[in-house]
Structure 1
Amino acid sequence: MPNPDPRHVSILATGSFLPGDPIDNATLERLCGALPAEVLDNIQVRQRHWMIDPATGKHGTGTNTMAATAAQRALARADIDPAEVDLLVVSSASPEYQLPAVVTYVQEQLGLAHCASIEFRAACTGFVQGLDYARRMLADGTYRTAVVIGAEAISPLLAPMYLGMDPESVRMRDRLVINSFGDGAGAVVLRAGEPGSADPDGEFQFATACLGGDRKPGMQIVGGGTHEPVADQAKRKRLVEMKLDVSGTATFGPKVFVAGMRDMLTRTGLTVAEIDACVLPEGNADYFTAEFDAAGVSPEDQAVLAKNIVENLATVGATGSAAVPLALDEGWVQGRVRPGDRVLLLAVEASRYLYAGLSLRWEAPAPGEETANVHA
């Protein structure tokens, strides 16, 4: 039954964590060979952060710690004691262990002996799906304070593509993958108000769908699962391997974005011009914008989106579950997401061509200089 006294739910603060120093394209060129300049321009990633040492593959941190650190920073900005958190939600496609779930390690690092802990095993869309799940649990009074986290550690899958090899012998398609991805984590803190405080016309609108049920995966991580005997997997050159359908993601990915955008506009009744900030990681990359015309995005809407898209692909790379919260955190800190703004979070995931969108009215004032985001 619908809750007769739904609670208003607010995002109080965001936080993020990017491991290590930035790794520029020149560094990767020395390690795995060069990409053609036009390819680098197309993917638009100038630097990224990895949890591994790119020269040795040694781990400097892990998914669990990155997620917990982002949560701690968000809680500090919100002035919320971790002990007040009664719901933790984490999305990740790169857990340190099959079990226990990443979210339970975050719970441990936050010092919470008892907490509702939910995990979404997903990439880009998982954070938005998790955020909607958490806000529903707060709106109906099940919980009061939640932290939602997206965390990804992709670099351990990239290192075997080039370590111990002559850079010139690294396959061009592997160089493309290596240059595209980064690691990191982002988090948001949500809190519910008093019963009956919600806007009766609705405060959030959510949509998600998979458009790839009849297509081969755009991205697939194979290995370490139950698809074939472990003994057979151990014979492969790489125990865990990332496979990317470059042409498929470049041509079909923008169509998934357009479908998600249309779905959200229909549900909200908004026009593109009425969205103040569209948090869309990768939204300004050439492989998206080059397909907008063919996918049916009008020139007028393209012009509006170009001004209102909040993204940071160039400085962090493609970061999976962390992509939306990292972009949101940077946009909030830089003043691109302001109180009163109508914000649309829209994630597009290549794995099976999914999207997840969530619209909301932003309330949190910009953080002070003393709490501005820093890279570790």
Structure 2
Amino acid sequence: MSGGDTVYIAATGTALPGDAVDNAALGKLLGVSEEWIDIFVGTRTRHFGWDPVTGEVRGTLADLCAEAGAQALHASGLGPADIEFVVLATATPDLLLPTTATDVADRLGLSHLPVFQIQAGCSGAVQALDLGRTLILGGRRAGLVLGGDVTHRFLGPRGDTARMPTEELVNYVLFGDGAGAAVLTDEPEGERIAIRSVLNSWTGQGRRPGQVLDWYGTTDRHSDRRMLAEDYKAIEEQVPPISAEILWELLGGLGWDLADLGFLLPPQLSERMTARIMERLPATPAREISCVSETGNTGNALPFLQLDRLLPEFTTGSRAIALCVESSRWIRAGFALEKV
């Protein structure tokens, strides 16, 4: 049976590097208390592809994405010859060129197919899903979409953590490394999850960025400007109402009611922020699917990590909506799913 104008998620895969780093271990390295970490972000553990003590990089973005992609392909029952495109979303590629997407395709044995890399923050996974869905609707039969981020270029062992301003120190407890993947198909194979809608809308005209992720070149590599900065006040004020807008827009476009939702996948900035967002969303019987308290903020990996948690409980007829807000320049994103 052909899916016609419907695209399906056949399988997912995820990858988190190394052992979980808890607040006790991280707090000791940073010279802060477990209580401070809990109060500020609420995250309990995170994973790093680099050693927090030595800074040695043990897992690159390509490593993680290849692992997640291999899992998804295996779970889907499809082989390399069945995959007709690759889309990878990240804010932290291993290199500018060659792209991490081509490296991952090479490792997975994929060749003679279009390979795309999207440069984006938290909304990138949805952008990858949107592009993959468009390619399937345009005639491709199956493809692989991935998302992931790593922190070793922006965080690392520091001897002066006690002198860091809070807005810089918090990045060490907020973020983690990870990757996720999904196989998209034109027929209801594998998990048989129909993508009913995808929202991907930039709304940042005239607005200041809520997050900046910088990079250095040969002429400014010794600059003292910060590589990673957030406007937490703006994020706390704006992300919850934007999340509600996304939810209502997706529901309205599909003609669904709040009562129709079995699961809700909220934005995963931090455990504390997710709780604030849920408090601002309309009451719904939907069960919350979150992972950020265990994984940390892994950027483009997060929606895939949430999907991986959703699948065991997603039964025929179930409906779910995922919400993503990218605060760098305020991108509203999300998607709606139904098990067929």
- What's the TM-score once normalised by structure 2's chain length? 0.90
Do structure 1's residue 252 and structure 2's residue 238 form an aligned pair? yes
Question: Residue 95 of structure 1: CA displacement?
Answer: 0.3
In the superposition, relative to structure 1, how do residues 291 and 329 fare at CA in structure 2: closer, same or farther (>3 Å)? closer
Q: 2:181 aligns with which of 187, 192, 197?
A: 187
> Highest Rg: 1 or 2?
1
In the superposition, relative to structure 1, how do residues 176 and 17 fare at CA in structure 2: closer, same or farther (>3 Å)? same
Match of 1:145 in 2: 142
Q: What residue ranges of structure 1 are gaps of 5+ in the alignment?
A: 195-201, 364-376
Measured in 2, the distance between the counterparts of 1:56 and 1:284 equals 26
Do structure 1's residue 309 and structure 2's residue 295 form an aligned pair? no
Q: 2:212 aligns with which of 220, 224, 235?
A: 220
Residues 28-177 of structure 1 aligned to structure 2 (within 5 Å): 28-34=26-32, 37=35, 40-141=38-139, 143-159=140-156, 163-177=157-171
Do structure 1's residue 235 and structure 2's residue 222 form an aligned pair? yes
In the superposition, relative to structure 1, how do residues 113 and 61 fare at CA in structure 2: closer, same or farther (>3 Å)? same
Do structure 1's residue 344 and structure 2's residue 338 form an aligned pair? no
In the superposition, relative to structure 1, how do residues 71 and 276 fare at CA in structure 2: closer, same or farther (>3 Å)? same
Query: What is the letter of the counterpart of residue 146 of structure 2?
Result: I
Tell whether the 8 Å contact from 2:168 to 2:229 is kept in structure 1 after alignment: no
Do structure 1's residue 357 and structure 2's residue 334 form an aligned pair? yes
Question: Residue 285 of structure 1: CA displacement?
Answer: 3.4
- What's the TM-score once normalised by structure 1's chain length? 0.82
Query: What is the letter of the counterpart of residue 10 of structure 1?
Result: Y
Query: What is the letter of the counterpart of residue 309 of structure 2?
Result: E
Tell whether the 8 Å contact from 1:67 to 1:149 is kept in structure 2 after alignment: yes
What is the RMSD computed on CA atoms of the aligned residues?
2.3
Aligned with 1:120: secondary structure? strand
Measured in 2, the distance between the counterparts of 1:288 and 1:59 equals 30
Tell whether the 8 Å contact from 2:199 to 2:334 is kept in structure 1 after alignment: yes
Match of 2:203 in 1: 211
Question: Residue 284 of structure 1: CA displacement?
Answer: 8.3
CA deviation vs aligned residue, 1:21-63 (integer Å, no higher than 9, x gap)? 1011111111112157365235221000111111111100111
Q: Which moved more, 1:202-211 or 1:342-351?
A: 202-211
Across the two proteins, how many residue pairs are aligned to each other?
Answer: 333
Tell whether the 8 Å contact from 1:88 to 1:118 is kept in structure 2 after alignment: yes
Measured in 2, the distance between the counterparts of 1:284 and 1:86 equals 35
Tell whether the 8 Å contact from 2:265 to 2:289 is kept in structure 1 after alignment: yes
Measured in 2, the distance between the counterparts of 1:90 and 1:148 equals 6
Match of 1:11 in 2: 9
In the superposition, relative to structure 1, how do residues 108 and 77 fare at CA in structure 2: closer, same or farther (>3 Å)? same
Tell whether the 8 Å contact from 1:32 to 1:170 is kept in structure 2 after alignment: no
In the superposition, relative to structure 1, how do residues 30 and 166 fare at CA in structure 2: closer, same or farther (>3 Å)? farther
Tell whether the 8 Å contact from 2:23 to 2:34 is kept in structure 1 after alignment: no
Tell whether the 8 Å contact from 2:83 to 2:142 is kept in structure 1 after alignment: yes
Measured in 1, the distance between the counterparts of 2:60 and 2:13 equals 17
